[in-house]
Structure 1
Amino acid sequence: MAEESGKDELSVNIDEMLHEFSYTASRPSTPFIYRVTDSLRSTKETEYDPIIISIGPLHHGKHNLQAMEPLKMWYLKKLLGDSSVDSYVQAIRSNEQTARDFYAEKIELNTDELVKMLLLDAIFIIQFLREYDKELGVQESKGDPIFGFEHVKSHILRDLMLFENQIPMFIVRDLFQLSNHDNQEFKYLFWPLFQHRRDVPTVLPEAHHLLGLVHAVKFCSSVQQLLRRIDKPIEMENILSATELRAAGILFKKNPENENGKDPSLLDITFKNKTFCIAKLEMTDEMESWLRNMIAYEFYLPRNKPKCISDYAFFLKCLMCSSEDAELLRHYGVISNCLGGDARVYEVIDRLMTNVFTSKKFLYLGVFDSINNYSKRKRNRWFAVLRRHHFNNPWTVISVVAAAVLLSVGIVQMVIAILSFCKLSC
């Protein structure tokens, strides 16, 4: 097995491999777009795959997504008119390697293929968002096969929020500037992704792709507020389920709108005066996909960065340990169920946290601590046991009330009898 040099043959092979290995030298230390890890995909693979359109190289060329490719070319033609595409091509070509380095895996497309794909995908994003009009519901653009059908528009918005279906934000920004003939501010392009025009921030935060932008805009301020509420070192201890907390006397309430008319942040959860205030969660298929892809995005964030959606999902998992918990939260208006049953909501939340890591500093430590302190008090525990074992259904309550009435009548009769006896004795 040994060669003439005296070296082991395996050692020689490994030495040659190390000599040729140059991955770390040619790629950035931190890419920004990854494949969703198998540990997350295993719970529900379809939630990470595009339904109608591919954006970026990871799903490029899939047979079931080819119907949208001519529409990308159509949007480009509408944008250019009789102008040349050359300035757009050169803007991407000059940054081709930077774009490749955004992806954690090697992109097999050659230079021309990659530039063409990025051009068509970026222009599609820009033109789709420009023509989107949420207030009208359906765009009256004559001959537009996207805005003429609500389900097509909905599927595209969903696909734009997939972790694997992203292109570098700087490509979108550069092509927007080249095509911005109306002096529109770049930040207003994205309001359909934020759901409301009023949600557009004063300053657009730095983000590497669309999903990262929405994550930063919708949750950064809420994260800072949550972190400020943790004013002391607290040992992590899970809270009881919704039905157990209700038995301990804790009430649930849907968070009202903010003073400026905005819906409360999904992350805004408080506990005060034995009342649990939680933002309403509309459980739909789109929401499940959105939550899963936000969690997938957070999976690759540095350990010291808050993983706010992962923390929120863990909170939901602690709160919902059964379909009865989901039913209770729906009763209080905290959950709006469009999935077809409370058991379905419980199953979605239960699977959502499979192989998911929370923040190094869990965002709801303060809330958990306050709830646990309340539910551990002797009086609250006693009432919880009383409710669970003696007032857990209407017939039990009726029986207890009837027994109390009979006992009271018996006591009254006994008192009357004693008074009568005393009167006769005198």
Structure 2
Amino acid sequence: MAQEYVAIKVDNTSDTATKQQANTGHDQPLGGTGSNVQDDVPLSPTEKNFLEEIKPERAGGTSSSKKQKSQHTKIQQVPEMLRREPFSKYFQPRAIAIGPLHRNSKTLFDEDLKKKLAAEFVKKMEHDKSPEESNQAKSSKEGDQAESLYRIIKKNIEHLKTYFDEKVIKSYNDESLAIMLFSDGCSIMQFIYSCARGDLKLFNINNGQAALIQQDLFLLENQIPYKVLKLLMKNSSSHKPEDLEESIKAFIRMNVMSPAKYSENIELDLGTETKEPVHLLDLLRSALLQEDNSDHHHIYGHHHNHDHKKDFSKCQVEYKRTFRNIQDLKAAGIKVEPSDTCSLRDVSFSALCFAGYLKLPPLIVDDSTGRKLLNLVAYEMCPDKFQTEDGVTSYVYFLDSLIDNEEDAKDLRMATIFRNRLSSDAEVAKMFNEIGTDLVPAPGYVDVKIKIQKHYDNRCMTWVAQVYRDHFSSPWTILALTAAVIVLVLTGVQTWFAVLPR
């Protein structure tokens, strides 16, 4: 206290002013009136800029002047939490750059391949026209097919810009963006058309390169609006759009990661004027979830308009998971079987007597599986996502909860759920454990999880399942048990006659 007194005595004026301010602060309530605050508390330019940035109309909050919410998820960068290791490798194109985000990558094929594909697309459309149409095209001012198609893209450039996050295309003017979309759109259409027909050798694209390009077309950061492809299909030829649409459907079915007998039955809707896919990745997601099939909505447990918050609350309250993996389920008498469809929604659980049956959709696991699934997860994690359901995220999270090691992956392979094309079951387990790392718990399959847990918690069923597994799971254990019973009976009979008085 002495030191404080000496310091204050140095300047009596300052001391008096300080005491007056302190007394004033005690006498008046904290905060004061709005006008007093504006008058008494000056703000620096930095503070004013900050307050300007968080106004509702600037920050995207609710406001009367706020723009109408976009009806689709914009093309953007992968969410921040997925850009770090070990995830980053799943989002980098390895063969071809599509769209603005990886335009300047030095590790990809040069632009010559895309130019060849685009040139062939335009050429193909000219050759496919009838003689009458060709004559009309020659006589028209816009007879050159490439110029005609480019003009259509340029005409719609303002609408096409709404499919991109502003930060993604801020370095592009309308001209450069239109050129990029036209070039990429034509090359994508020709690649898909040739891939579906098996004609890629015309471009010296071998099977390995074709596989890499296919994977790259389903990366979140390697997309252009599906609207571009639709404009090209609609305007390239008067009699060709149907064939081009069929090639897209065939291409998607080739990439749904399911055996042919399942994927060939997938119903694909390429959209209407009011509702269409955002891009190829969005179309793949629709094929995997089979969103327009009401049966799968029932199997998954809810419809599009379902309240997912209630699902999450229900899961938190009723579902307390104590099993760890497939091995634990086996110990409780639960068998895994393939579902009737390849929809990721088609997950169900049923119990019969003392046995439980978990049905999972069949899945081809190869080099592309992890990349496709994690890019779909990233798409569902986008902050402006329009869809309300995390269907793929729920599936990946659920599978990761069932797979701890190669034994779990092996059991799924033996049950014909996994078609493993990787080097080993251990690689499959590693992949799912890697892409499932740090995923936020998703509310999908809530009812299935609760049913599994109830069956797992039933000690009577677990005991019967253990007896069955130990003594009746194979012919050899049955024979051994039968032999043991016979020996025991004979021993008893022999003992009886030995002690029986004669």
Q: TM-score scaled to structure 2, two decimals?
A: 0.69
1:337-356 paired onto structure 2 within 5 Å:
337-356=420-439
Residue of structure 2 equivalent to 1:289: 371
Aligned mate of 1:58, from 80, 101, 121: 101
Task: Return closer, same or farther for 1:386/1:281 CA change in 2, 3 Å cut-off.
Answer: same
1:117-128 paired onto structure 2 within 5 Å:
117-128=180-191
Residue of structure 1 equivalent to 2:153: 92
Q: Does 1:268 align with 2:311?
A: no
1:126-141 paired onto structure 2 within 5 Å:
126-133=189-196, 138-139=198-199
Residue of structure 2 equivalent to 1:414: 495
Residue of structure 2 equivalent to 1:260: none
Residue of structure 2 equivalent to 1:188: 246
Task: Return closer, same or farther for 1:17/1:251 CA change in 2, 3 Å cut-off.
Answer: closer
Q: Does 1:176 align with 2:259?
A: no
Work out whether residues 319 and 453 of structure 2, in 8 Å CA contact, stay in contact via their aligned partners in 1: no
Residue of structure 1 equivalent to 2:19: none
Residue of structure 2 equivalent to 1:279: 361
Q: 3-state DSSP class of the match of 2:439? A: coil
Residue of structure 2 equivalent to 1:159: 216
Q: Does 1:299 align with 2:360?
A: no
Q: Deviations over 1:32-81 (max 9, x none)?
A: 112112322333311111111111101112111242x1122223323334
Aligned mate of 1:365, from 437, 446, 461: 446
Q: 3-state DSSP class of the match of 1:267? A: coil
State the shift of 1:279 in Å. 2.2
Deviates more, 1:30-39 or 1:285-294: 30-39
Residue of structure 1 equivalent to 2:10: none
Q: 3-state DSSP class of the match of 2:364? A: strand
Task: Return closer, same or farther for 1:39/1:398 CA change in 2, 3 Å cut-off.
Answer: farther
Residue of structure 2 equivalent to 1:253: 337
State the shift of 1:139 in Å. 1.9
Distance in 2 of aligned mates of 1:36 and 1:140: 30
Distance in 1 of aligned mates of 2:432 and 2:494: 57
Distance in 2 of aligned mates of 1:417 and 1:379: 40
Residue of structure 1 equivalent to 2:122: 80
| Percent of residue pairs identical | 24
Work out whether residues 194 and 200 of structure 1, in 8 Å CA contact, stay in contact via their aligned partners in 2: no
Distance in 2 of aligned mates of 1:140 and 1:290: 22
Task: Return closer, same or farther for 1:303/1:390 CA change in 2, 3 Å cut-off.
Answer: farther
Residue of structure 1 equivalent to 2:404: 321
Task: Return closer, same or farther for 1:125/1:197 CA change in 2, 3 Å cut-off.
Answer: farther
Instruction: Give the AA of the match of 1:209.
Output: H
Deviates more, 1:233-242 or 1:341-350: 233-242
Task: Return closer, same or farther for 1:182/1:200 CA change in 2, 3 Å cut-off.
Answer: farther
State the shift of 1:223 in Å. 4.7
Deviates more, 1:230-239 or 1:187-196: 230-239
Residue of structure 1 equivalent to 2:327: 243
Residue of structure 1 equivalent to 2:21: none
Task: Return closer, same or farther for 1:133/1:304 CA change in 2, 3 Å cut-off.
Answer: closer
Distance in 2 of aligned mates of 1:140 and 1:36: 30
Work out whether residues 123 and 175 of structure 1, in 8 Å CA contact, stay in contact via their aligned partners in 2: yes
Distance in 1 of aligned mates of 2:485 and 2:265: 57
Residue of structure 2 equivalent to 1:225: 298
Alignment root-mean-square deviation, CA: 3.7
Work out whether residues 28 and 101 of structure 1, in 8 Å CA contact, stay in contact via their aligned partners in 2: no
Instruction: Give the AA of the match of 2:371.
Output: S
State the shift of 1:179 in Å. 0.8
Distance in 1 of aligned mates of 2:145 and 2:460: 77
Task: Return closer, same or farther for 1:27/1:290 CA change in 2, 3 Å cut-off.
Answer: farther
Residue of structure 2 equivalent to 1:259: none
Q: TM-score scaled to structure 1, two decimals?
A: 0.81
Q: 3-state DSSP class of the match of 2:368? A: helix
State the shift of 1:152 in Å. 1.8
Task: Return closer, same or farther for 1:380/1:19 CA change in 2, 3 Å cut-off.
Answer: closer
State the shift of 1:350 in Å. 1.3
Residue of structure 1 equivalent to 2:31: none
Distance in 1 of aligned mates of 2:116 and 2:381: 36
1:137-148 paired onto structure 2 within 5 Å:
138-139=198-199, 143-146=202-205
Q: Deviations over 1:116-140 (max 9, x none)?
A: 1111001111122222236xxx427
Instruction: Give the AA of the match of 1:269.
Output: V
Distance in 1 of aligned mates of 2:194 and 2:474: 55
Work out whether residues 53 and 59 of structure 2, in 8 Å CA contact, stay in contact via their aligned partners in 1: no
Task: Return closer, same or farther for 1:23/1:111 CA change in 2, 3 Å cut-off.
Answer: farther
Q: Deviations over 1:121-179 (max 9, x none)?
A: 01111122222236xxx4276x4223xx1122211111111111111121221122221
Q: 3-state DSSP class of the match of 1:57? A: coil
Q: Does 1:209 align with 2:287?
A: no
1:21-36 paired onto structure 2 within 5 Å:
29-30=69-70, 31-36=73-78
State the shift of 1:213 in Å. 1.5
Q: Does 1:331 align with 2:391?
A: no
Q: Unaligned regions of 5+ residues in structure 1, if any?
A: 257-262
Residue of structure 1 equivalent to 2:459: 378
Distance in 1 of aligned mates of 2:53 and 2:330: 63
Q: 3-state DSSP class of the match of 1:276? A: strand
Higher Rg:
2
Instruction: Give the AA of the match of 2:173.
Output: N
State the shift of 1:20 in Å. 8.3
State the shift of 1:253 in Å. 2.1
Q: Deviations over 1:257-278 (max 9, x none)?
A: xxxxxx5324322223322222
State the shift of 1:395 in Å. 12
Distance in 1 of aligned mates of 2:121 and 2:387: 42
Q: Deviations over 1:342-365 (max 9, x none)?
A: 222112111222232354xx3312
Distance in 1 of aligned mates of 2:178 and 2:108: 19
State the shift of 1:310 in Å. 1.0
Deviates more, 1:45-54 or 1:273-282: 273-282
